Amino acid sequence: MNGAAILALIRNDVRLYFADRRAVLVGVLVPILIAAFFGYVFGGAGMNADAGRIPIAVVDEDQSTVSLAITADLTADKLLQVTTLDRAAAREQVKAGKQNAAAVFPKSFGEQTTKALFSGRDKPQVQLLVDPSQTIGARVIEGLLAQYSMQEISKEAFTGVSGRKAIDDFLGDLDGQDPTPTSADLKALLQTARKLSEMRASAAAGGPGGSGSVQPGFVLSIPYTLAPTEVTSRDTTPYNGYAHSFAGMAVQFILFAGIDAGILLLLTRQRGIWQRLRSAPLRRSEFILARALATTLVGLFQFALIYLAAVLVFKVRIEGSWPGFIGVGIAFCVLNATFGLMLATLGRSAPTTRGFALMATLLLVMVGGAWVPAFVFPRWLQNVSLYAPTRWAIDGLDGATWRGLPFSSEVLPIIVLVGSAAVCLAVAIWRFRWED
Amino acid sequence: MLQVEQLSKRYGDRLALDAISFAVAAGETVGLLGPNGAGKTTAIAMISGIARPDGGRVSLGGVRVTQDANVLKRRVGLVPQDLALYDELSAWANLQLFGGLYGLGAEHLRQRADDALALVGLSGRRNERVKTFSGGMKRRLNIAGALLHDPDLILLDEPTVGIDPQSRNAIFDNLETLKRRGKTLLYTTHYMEEAERLCDRVLILDHGRILADDSVANLVQQYENLEAAFMQLTGGELRDGAEA
């Protein structure tokens, strides 16, 4: 083994990498900037209260107690960013993509809903104007709207003025119908509800019943409360959106460097330098080893700088296993180096190879969840993504950072990455033309 | 020193070398002349061990090149026709790589690189990037890259192509210095005056065959001058085929 030659080749490749300072800057700074952007969009370091809020508009053409109360509930919800608009402006803003949806409470909404609650007839229609590109947001809004509507409508029905009127009207309707055992029971129930409502109103006004015998807030509401808890490395550590975005961008831009290394090898073959390398006492295996090690070192350099920025500026922490984090980083950089070698052996011309390689890389990082987390994919795509080594690299890095997983959880990603590297290396060795 | 016997090479249907044989003695400077596509570069590639012959053999000091190519490669220095340099790196960094490939230790390599740069007159430009060099300077550095491991045999494949007369003259001076130091040179060129000035002996090659193998003096005596010998032996038709 010509160790001196291998070292000379590695040193030379590293020199070549640093000789293009602009490329070095792009390879390190650009992923940091893009990761910062994506990280902010996906919630940042838990400090950005507005991040992730769904923008919706409310059009209140009723201005009733019920509609005003629902609007207030929606406004107070942490998931939503509510703007009150008129119908035309709301439609325009949804159309322009500024609001995910707009809920329109029509005139007499409050009165009709309380009546409809008892009679089941003449339900008012709440129009929900939806941006078709924001279907997930629209579903969230539908759910929250149903929750707050039930809460406020039942409150008004059983304790409010319009509720008592609705009960009276419905009792009047029942009186006009032929008596049946069911209508008699219903009448008794409504009379009880009417009585309770009167007692509560009287209590509120300081009259009889003010002793608190009537439970305040007689409201139909969801019979449980929800306590969303971020399951991260520790209960006290909030989710850091930057941790995932830095994993994704590190993977993407290290792969870009791998492509560059492959293209450099292709170009070297086409230049006189190839003849000089071939005329030296250098074996094929030594040359391949040197190239793989040099590209791995360059990848590790990028990896280290990108994560240094993530830790120092964006408060990303290695909450899990340090050996796991380093192991995934090294395994991925080795994979990247062999991937670059494979490209160089499969490609013929530099421009065509670069084009195909970029396409393959972008597909790998996209499917691997580098841009958006894989859980937003449809189930079939999530299953497909398991065949992309990028997915394992990103999951491994996520595991070592915000998920805080132990080393045992990093073993499988490392095995998959090393295995993929072995496949790429095997193809590279098989296809590598040492002699002309 | 160098023995070439029945060397053959075919690229598809084209016969690039047709069982050529010749010998080069130690310290001798031999010119390999021929038009484009004659087989000069193919012959150099076989002798330097970077391409396998289809037939025949190359021996250096009695040892066949294919037996232990890496040992023999340490005794041969190749100056390729295409510049074998990294433009993005300094002259010094280029030489560090080329010397490193031959396993030279740091101090030895530094000394050899200093000597090589001094020989080609580039000591003052050692830390500058090659892309800032003129064509002639690059050609000289290309030669320096082949000298670091102190080879016995130096193969020069058209080392003066595409440069101005001043640079060419400087390269002649470099090669004459190497000759005086006892190095064996095998030199391919299109330029007859180069061969007349530098070579003890010339081989005229065409269509993969050796048409003449004689001293410059004998050929001049026989054909008036080297160019006349070349034109008469190879014919005057244009050669559009690429150099093999």
| ipTM over the 0.95 cut-off | no
Return the closest-CA partner of residue A335 out of A419, A270, A217, A278: A419
Q: Does B199 touch chain A (CB under 8 A)?
A: no
Flag if A435 and B45 touch (Cβ within 8 Å).
no
Report the gap between the CA of A80 and the closest CA in chain B (Å).
Answer: 55
- pLDDT reported for residue A323: 96
How is residue B161 written in tokens? 């192509």
Q: Are strands B55-60 and B63-64 parallel, antiparallel or unpaired?
A: antiparallel
Q: How confident is the prediction along chain B (244 residues), in pLDDT tens digits per residue?
A: 899 999 999 988 888 899 999 999 999 999 999 888 888 889 999 898 888 889 898 988 887 876 667 778 889 999 998 899 999 999 999 999 999 999 888 899 999 999 999 988 899 999 999 999 998 899 999 999 999 999 999 999 988 888 888 888 888 888 888 889 889 999 998 888 888 888 999 999 988 899 889 998 898 888 888 888 888 888 866 665 544 4
Residue of chain A whose alpha carbon sits nearest to that of B143? A276
| Helix (H), strand (E), coil (C) string for B35-56 | CCCCCHHHHHHHHHCCCCCCEE
Q: Rounded to an integer, what distance in angstroms lies between the CA atom of residue A70 and that of residue A58?
A: 10
- Contacts of residue B82 in chain A, CB cutoff 8 Å? 271-272, 275
What is the Cα–Cα distance from B216 to B207, expressed in whole angstroms?
21
CA distance linking residue A314 with residue A246, whole number of Å: 10
Tell me, yes or no, if the pTM score tops 0.80.
Answer: no
Q: Which residue in B78, B97, B100 is closest to A279 by CB distance?
A: B78
Chain A residues with beta carbon closer than 8 angstroms to that of B146: 276
Separation between Cα atoms, residue A210 and residue A199, nearest integer Å: 8
Burial class (CB in 10 A: 0-12, 13-18, 19+), A212: exposed
Which candidate in B66, B101, B158 is best for mutational testing of the A interface (most A CBs within 10 A)? Answer: B101
For residue A324, give both structure tokens.
């796991």
Q: What integer pLDDT is reported at residue B29 of this predicted model?
A: 93
Which residues on chain B are in Cβ contact (under 8 Å) with A281? 69-71, 73-74, 101-103
pLDDT recorded at residue B142: 92
Mean pLDDT over residues A200-210, rounded?
A: 65
pLDDT at A211 over 80: no
Q: Which residues of A touch B99 (CB under 8 A)?
A: 8
Q: Which residue has the tokens 């909030």?
A: A238
* Residue pair B233/B206 in contact by the 8 Å Cβ criterion: yes
Residue A40: CB atoms within 10 A of its CB come to: 16
Question: Hey, which residues does A59 pair with through a beta bridge?
Answer: A104
Taking only the tens place, the pLDDT of each residue in A105-143 is: 999 888 888 878 777 778 888 898 988 877 777 888 888
**Three-class DSSP category at A59:** strand
Q: What angle do CA B90, A26, A356 make, to 5 degrees?
A: 95
Q: Distance, in angstroms, between B108 CA and closest chain A CA?
A: 13
Domains (range + CATH), chain B = 1-75+152-244 (3.40.50.300), 84-150 (no CATH)
Which residue of chain B has the CA closest to A434?
Answer: B50
pLDDT digits (tens, 9 = 90+) for B138-167: 999 999 999 999 999 999 998 888 888 888
Indicate the residue of A8, A16, A275 with minimum beta-carbon distance to B101. A8
In a mutational test of the A interface, the residue from B75, B97, B104, B154 whose CB has the highest number of chain A CBs within 10 Å is B97
Q: Which residues contact A52 (CB under 8 A, 6 or more apart)?
A: A42, A43, A79
From chain A, the residues in CB contact with B74 under 8 A are 281
* Antiparallel, parallel or unpaired: β B2-11 and B55-60: antiparallel
Residue appearing with tokens 């026989």: B222
d(CA B226, CA B204): 10
Which of B52, B47, B40, B117 is CA-nearest to residue B81? B40
- C-beta of residue A362 within 8 angstroms of C-beta of residue A321: no
pLDDT for the residue numbered A58: 93
Sequence-distant (6+) residues with CB within 8 A of A76 are none
How many interface pairs between A and B have CB atoms less than 8 angstroms apart? 97
Check the CA dihedral A5-A11-A12-A17 and report its sign: positive
Q: Write the pLDDT tens digit of every residue in B87-111.
A: 999 999 999 999 999 988 889 999 9
Rounded Cα–Cα distance for residues A139 and A136 (Å):
5
Provide the shortest C-alpha distance from residue B217 to chain A (in Å): 33
Residue with more model confidence, A341 or A158? A341
For the segment A365-377, the average pLDDT, to the nearest whole number, is 83
